[in-house]
Structure 1
Amino acid sequence: MLKPLVMFLFLASPAVSQSFEVTPSLADDRKAVFATVESVDTLTARTRIGGTIVDLLVDEGDMVAAGDVVALVVNEQMAPQIAAATSQAASLEAQLRQARDDLERAAGLLERGIVPQTRLDQAQTAVAVLEGQLASANQSRDVLVQQQREGEVLAPAAGRVLDVQSPRGSVMLPGEPVATIASDHYLLRLNLPERHARSIAEGDEIEVVGAALGGDVASTGVIRQVYPLIANGRIVADAEVDGLGSFFVGERVRVNVSVESREVIIIPRDYVTTRYGNDFVSLETAAGTRDVVVLLGEESAEGVEVLAGLSAGDRLVQP
């Protein structure tokens, strides 16, 4: 006897389509501008005395520490003046020794009653006068020696030598520049049109479009100062960016700066299909779904921007 064949038919449940509600959001409108690598402080190593540069110890591009000797200035008049002051001090020392001997003799003669008290007083006065003259001569000599030491032109801060204005053999006056030194703290200096003056502020983030700068430079930075002076229709701002220390001062870098915010519509990229060169999305309506053409803009990590074709509140169905 044949048993009836029982067939089981499994029906797959229909896939549930995901939906997405269109909601506007605020996005930063970025402007591409050029910035230059600048040092926070640019200092000048200057002479402290007049004279001739007999030794120049740095060249453009050298790294220096604060207090390093940049150059040596010698004033040929200082050596004779120091020698004269030394001779005068030696002469006063000899006179002071003689005056002290006279004071001792006067004190001994006074004890034996041979000389009056006035003789002892005169000897004491002579010793005091010579001691003062010797102290003054020594101080004058110390001043000349210190001036001679000030012939060493010192680096005012640690950094890199940008320019050497005075070569070896130059005759210098006090205060004249010898070398320009950029401190070892670098930043990016931005120049923006004045219409963006109130759109940027301290703490705003910038994007460094710096493929030419290499991997050591951070991709983003932060504006640390906005200068209040507008010159020639431009406003200047400084931005801190890590990794700028090994680049040339004055090197130009392209950066993107957020100048204002605007309302945008961003949808996930997988809700968009492309057919015949046009971009479509499936729009959910009361009568069902229908495909509409959209104009797409810039794509980001959040999705793709829709420039035209959708409105706030529209609901999309994933194709």
Structure 2
Amino acid sequence: MRPNRKQFIVLAVAVLVGLAVTAAILLRRPPEVAVATVEPQTVELGLSVVGRARPMDLVQVASPNPGQVVRLMHDDGDRVAAGDPLAVILASVEQAQTEADLARERAARAEAADARLKYERTRTLSERGFAAPAALDAARTALQAAEANVAAAAAAVRASAERAREFTIRAPMSGVVLVRPIDNGQVVAAGETLFELGSAAGVEIRAEVEEAYADALRPGMTARASLSGTSTIFAARVTEVSPQVDAATGGRLVKLAPEAGPSLSPGRSIDVTIVVGQRSGAIVLPRSAVADATAAPKVYVVDADDIVRERAVVVARWPTVNALIERGLAAGDRVVLDPASARVGARVRPVAPKTED
């Protein structure tokens, strides 16, 4: 027996009523909210900074005199031993001074030769009685003065020649040529850097740490380090914390020594986490769970009746990935992980956060 039209209408009305009842139940059902149950734990306090590798010793090699670079023996990346020649500088200014001193020496020698002739002539006349003894004494004095001038001029020429010779710039220590900012034929000034040498004895890591956090650092603290962009971790140790604060940046220089790990090229950026200490019974939450973190930090807590309540908290001022709660929460509190998903005073259904497979 086929259903008639009236029976179809009754069936449709029944389905619509069922859907309406189901929708009403679902609409009255409290929304799900992901919460985290507070569980105090022991956490590590670490300070993460970015440092750079640097040779233990860094020396700027400069020319003591101005001149022209006439020969270069080494380039970037070359290894040198202490005393190895690096470059030859031709001191052109000193050469001009030497030529002037040579001219003065020739003039002094000519004057000395003339003084000797006059002395010999006066001595001959004196022996024959035609010149007074005073004239002979004056001629002898003039000759001695002229010979002294020759000796002085010759000494000046030797000094100028020593200054004007080709200067050989030598490595003050064993190491690696990091930078060679000059080229062959270039004219350099006195004190201008010709080479930058880094010691081959070892490498250190240098990082600048904000003064507010650097006060907690001490030599001997351990650290974890990795080359920026890689996941390989190696151990390091704090060797020095500068007592001086850089007025321009407000940071203090911290030096670390790698204890093992890959070869560090000078200038390579390194991610460093310095282990400052541990805190037992600490409460840690994702920073996204804290609302108004900079002004008036607070969290949303679900009470025993599943009602969302607002709770003011105190967040430790420490640069960590998660928020370290110092006051305001206790063990067992259920904290809403996304404050934007809940409304204060609303009833919710707290659920565990979803985990990625």
TM-score (norm 2): 0.53
The aligned amino acid for 2:268 is E
CA 1:121 to 1:251, structure 2 compared with 1: closer, same or farther past 3 Å?
same
CA 1:225 to 1:74, structure 2 compared with 1: closer, same or farther past 3 Å?
same
Matched, 1:147 2:158: no
Q: Is the 8 A contact 2:91 2:163 kept in 1?
A: no
Which ranges in structure 2 are unaligned for 5 or more consecutive residues? 1-41, 229-233, 283-330, 333-357
Report what 2:217 is aligned to: 200
Q: Is the 8 A contact 2:48 2:274 kept in 1?
A: yes
CA 1:107 to 1:224, structure 2 compared with 1: closer, same or farther past 3 Å?
farther
Which ranges in structure 1 are unaligned for 5 or more consecutive residues? 1-25, 213-217, 266-307, 310-319
Local SS of the residue matching 1:146: helix
The aligned amino acid for 2:72 is L
2:262 and 2:241 map into 1 onto residues whose CA distance is 19
The aligned amino acid for 1:177 is T
The aligned amino acid for 1:229 is V
Superposition map of 1:75-154 within 5 A: 75-76=91-92, 78-79=94-95, 81-83=97-99, 85-86=101-102, 88-90=104-106, 92-93=108-109, 95-96=111-112, 99=115, 103=119, 110=126, 115-149=131-165, 151-154=167-170
The aligned amino acid for 1:129 is A
Q: Is the 8 A contact 1:30 1:258 kept in 2?
A: yes
The aligned amino acid for 1:239 is L
Report what 2:242 is aligned to: 226
Q: Decide which of 183, 191, 197 is 2:208's aligned counterpart.
A: 191
2:278 and 2:215 map into 1 onto residues whose CA distance is 12
1:245 and 1:40 map into 2 onto residues whose CA distance is 16
Larger strand share, 1 or 2: 1
Larger helix share, 1 or 2: 2
1:226 and 1:35 map into 2 onto residues whose CA distance is 15
1:263 and 1:156 map into 2 onto residues whose CA distance is 52
1:67 and 1:245 map into 2 onto residues whose CA distance is 30
Q: What is the number of residues matched between the two proteins?
A: 237
Matched, 1:51 2:52: no
1:209 and 1:75 map into 2 onto residues whose CA distance is 48
Report what 2:76 is aligned to: 60
Report what 1:73 is aligned to: 89
Q: Percent identity?
A: 25
Report what 1:174 is aligned to: 190
Local SS of the residue matching 1:199: coil
TM-score (norm 1): 0.58
Give 1:141 deviation, angstroms: 1.5
Q: List structure 1 segments (4+ residues) > 6 angstroms apart after TM superposition.
A: 243-246
Aligned Cα root-mean-square deviation (Å): 4.0
